[in-house]
Amino acid sequence: MKIVVFQQNGSGESKIAGITKFGQDRFDLQMISIDMPLPPVIDDAREFLPADIDADLVLDFLKHPDLSLDLALLCRDKGIPVVASGKKMKIDGVATPPT
């Protein structure tokens, strides 16, 4: 299973470590880190997100709501499920469990 993890300023490091430790090579992990200062509003997330995503599952640990929304919409259009803990989105294919 290929999992792509999106994080901002190390926000997903502990989860990535857990998947690596307990997953025991069952998962192909790819991390995409956004570690730069971001403007309060992002009108076009293409500058920060990849144009295409190849994954069986996406984990969203992004802090910026505009990036999370655009990531969710991109994944929805590609049929890739997303887990975005603590987010308040109502988008098909996006699970938003409480943190």
In angstroms, rounded to a whole number, what is the distance separating the alpha carbons of residues 87 and 61?
Answer: 10
At 37 the three-state DSSP class reads coil
In angstroms, rounded to a whole number, what is the distance separating the alpha carbons of residues 68 and 26?
Answer: 26
| Domain 2-95: top CATH class | alpha beta
* 50 to 4, 20, 36, 54, 97: CA distances (angstroms): 11, 23, 16, 10, 25
Predicted confidence (pLDDT) per residue in 23-42, tens digit: 988 999 999 999 999 999 99
pLDDT band at 97 (very low <50, low <70, confident <90, very high): confident
pTM of the model: 0.91
> Whole-number mean pLDDT of the chain?
93
Is the per-residue pLDDT at 99 higher than 80? no
